[in-house]
Amino acid sequence: MAQTLRSEAVNHFVDDLKTTHGDNLNSVLLYGSGSALREAEVASEFSLVVVLERISAEDLQLARSPVREWQRIGYPAPSYFSIGELHEASDVFPIEFRKMEQSRKILYGTDPFEFIELSDVNLRHQTEYELRSKLLQLRRLNIESLTSVEQLTKLMVESLASFASLFRPVLLLIGVDPPVSKVQCVRETVSRLGLDAEPFERIFALRTSAEQLTDEVSTNQLFASYMRQIERVIDTIDKFEN
């Protein structure tokens, strides 16, 4: 059963961080698939970022107790940044930082993104890199799965979830606010880039068991169509001007 993100648990964790880090705590922010903190949201859809004025080994040791308690009740550990690192690392993590910029809730302190400038050049570079890396991995895993319809079906379903996450920055690069849902994010990308929707819709159907593949020929044909559309997305990003 998926763990939900409960406001009382978040508030308690923020209080623990304030006690632990004192004046060194700059801010705590929540970001993910929605900007509002709601009882029903699944915890895996959100991430927490703890921003300190400075980070030393001693600060990390102090963080162990509240973070362990946070993990004990079923939530993933937060990411720790110094305020300086947020400014300096925006060119290295443009996809994650753009997520934070687009959908965040300040739980404590000041908004660290108020004065951070994010570059579309860096976003394009990382997006293309991630897309190409996942395409190379997809090809390698396809070779390993050629003799199994079941394995190849699983590969398409699982890989589409990863590509859907990368379609968010693709939409940002073309000036479109990405939908929250991964399915809608894929559909919006298909529409905006003029892609063939059929392979994506069939893979969505496979995920929900609305469609089943039974032979190698049709499975490999679907995979080939799917891969061609991914390649078209990469070609589009590659042609963007720096």
The pLDDT tens digits for 159-177 are: 999 999 899 999 988 888 8
Half-sphere exposure of 37 (CA within 13 A, CB side): 16
Distance CA 73, CA 178 (A): 31
Cα-Cα-Cα-Cα dihedral sign, residues 85, 86, 91, 92: positive
Cβ atoms 157, 203 nearer than 8 A: yes
Same domain, 234 and 136: yes
- Could you give the percent of the chain with pLDDT greater than 90? 49
- For residue 160, the domain's CATH number is 1.20.120
What's the mean per-residue pLDDT of the chain? 86
In a domain, 1, yes or no: no
Q: 114 in a domain, yes or no? A: no
Percentage above 70 pLDDT, the chain? 91
Neighbours of 58 (CB within 10 A): 8
d(CA 25, CA 208): 44
Domain boundary among 72, 89, 109: 109
Tell the burial category of 30 from Cβ atoms under 10 Å away from its Cβ (0-12, 13-18, 19+).
buried
Helix pair 149-173, 94-102: axis angle to 10 deg: 70
Domain CATH for 12? 3.30.460
Q: Would you say residue 36 has pLDDT above 60? A: no
Same domain, 124 and 231: yes
- Gyration radius from the chain CA atoms: 20
Q: What is the 3-state secondary structure (H, E, C) of 10-79?
A: HHHHHHHHHHHHHHHEEEEEEEECCCCCCCCCEHHHEEEEEEECCCCHHHHHHHHHHHHHHHHCCCCCCE
pLDDT of residue 37: 44
Q: Which of 2-16, 29-43, 84-98 has the lowest mean pLDDT?
A: 29-43
Residues 126 and 227 in one domain: yes
pTM strictly above 0.75: no
Domain residue limits at 73: 7-109
Please give the angle made by the CA atoms of 113, 115 and 120, to the nearest 5 degrees: 75
* Interatomic CA distance for residues 54 and 50, integer angstroms: 11
Give the number of domains in the chain. Answer: 2
50 & 91 share domain: yes
In a domain, 44, yes or no: yes
Domain boundary, last residue among 89, 109, 129: 109
Q: Please report which confidence band the pLDDT of residue 235 belongs to, taking 50, 70 and 90 as the band edges.
A: very high
Among 109, 142, 167, the domain boundary falls at: 109
76 lies in the same domain as 129 = no
177-216 pLDDT, tens per residue?
Answer: 888 788 999 999 999 999 999 999 999 999 888 778 888 8
Name which of 123, 212, 132, 222 is nearest 174 in CA terms: 123
Let me know: does 198 contact 208? Beta carbons within 8 Å.
no
Q: Is residue 89 part of a domain?
A: yes
CA distances from 184 to 97, 100, 134 (A): 22, 20, 20
Instruction: Give me the pLDDT at residue 146, please.
Output: 66
Distances in whole angstroms, Cα of residue 30 to Cα of each of 12, 42, 111, 193: 14, 13, 11, 31
Residue 2 domain flag: no
